[in-house]
Structure 1
Amino acid sequence: MIDWDSGVCLGCGRTPEEIDGVPVPEVQPAPQPAAPPLPDNVAVQIGEGSE
């Protein structure tokens, strides 16, 4: 939170210009695990790759 009287952040002591110059890391979505293969008896009945 910026103290506009002093011009610095109350938490870190930086100015708004210093804070604006700090890059914000990009959040990467977590990778989704691959679906396990179908059991052989099911794959024979419906075919592999079916949803």
Structure 2
Amino acid sequence: MNDALCVGVCMIDWDSGVCLGCGRTAEEIEGVPAAPPLPAAPQPALLPPNVVALVGEGTE
């Protein structure tokens, strides 16, 4: 556990889920690793301009 961020005021704001003293979540304070961020949704491939001119954007 990294106590370097601790300022001695341990009070969890349950609306936001973070400590009012150090700004960490209860899981971070307890040393439970946070879940990795979810990958961004893949973006649809853009059609080349010559194909768009023939068939449109393809949103229909």
Question: TM range, normalised to the smaller chain?
Answer: 0.3 to 0.5
Structure of higher CA gyration radius: 1
TM-score, length-normalised on structure 2? 0.35
TM-score, length-normalised on structure 1? 0.41
